[in-house]
Amino acid sequence: MKIVHQALCLGLLMLPLAAQARPITYPGGWSLMTMNDMDVNSAEVYYTPDPNYSIGWRHDYWRDPKANMDAAQLNYLLKRWNNPGSQGNLYLKSGAGFAYEDGESQAAVYAGVAADWEDRRYYVSYSNEFLTAGDIYKKASHTARVGIAPYKGDSGDLHTWLMLQADYDHYRDNEFSVTPLVRLFKGTTLGEVGVNLDGGVYFHLMKTF
């Protein structure tokens, strides 16, 4: 039964429907991810021992106040909705570690939820994150996306999504931003690139193996 479950999870991963930047892959799978925008450079690595959760490490470099964070992270699948031709997911993402700036280090903790729904044509998602690292850094962010695929590709094709992302962070000067972006997916590699309306570049790359 376990082998069947693993094979099913792997099959879902390879479908265009499931070809998204999700924090949990198939059992035994690894994910490498980097994300860069106006506020942060982030690198993450995750291992999925079970279809319901993954564990990993995250490193952030915050441009303002030029500080770093290293943290262990747990991603947990709270709920999945599998419907004919569509899928929805709800995740809990939390972590703890240390932030450091100019030789000073303080404990850092964070938590948030991420939800998405998609079929082969449309995509919507919402995520938030609440982070505190003492006097070094604080974050209370919300991100929402809508997307459309201009064509329906088959398994193994290059899949394209046109998306619009809105971000809000209570603690940032540029509290609200809008970023048009393009998502490309082929095989086990996903890339995103966009430029927000303030001129900031957004780049995201994820590889699963």
Tens digits of per-residue pLDDT, 97-130?
A: 999 999 899 999 999 999 999 999 999 999 999 9
pTM: 0.87
CATH number for the region 2-208 comes to: 2.40.160.40
- For 69, 73, 92, the CA distances from 141, given in Å and listed in that order, are 17, 17, 15
**Helical (H) or strand (E) element with 123:** strand 122-133
What single string gives the DSSP state of each residue in 51-118?
TTEEEEEEEEEETTTTEEEEEEEEEEEEEEEEETTEEEEEEEEEEEEEEEETTEEEEEEEEEEEEEEE
Give the per-residue pLDDT at 29: 94
Question: In the prediction, which pLDDT does 15 show?
Answer: 38
- CA-to-CA separations, 30 to 47, 67, 92, in angstroms, rounded: 5, 27, 18
**What token pair was written down for 197?**
């309306």
Give the per-residue pLDDT at 10.
37
Q: What is the pLDDT of residue 174?
A: 62
Domain ranges within the chain, ordered by starting residue: 2-208
Closest CA relative to residue 200, chosen from 174, 182, 161, 168: 174
| Tens place of pLDDT per residue across the chain (209 aa) | 343 334 334 333 333 433 456 889 989 999 999 999 988 999 999 999 999 999 999 999 999 899 999 999 999 999 999 999 999 999 999 999 999 999 899 999 999 999 999 999 999 999 999 999 999 999 999 999 999 999 988 888 999 999 999 999 988 776 799 999 999 999 899 999 999 998 999 999 999 99
Tokens, residue 23: 């924090």
Q: Name the token pair of 100.
A: 């450091």
SS3 6: helix
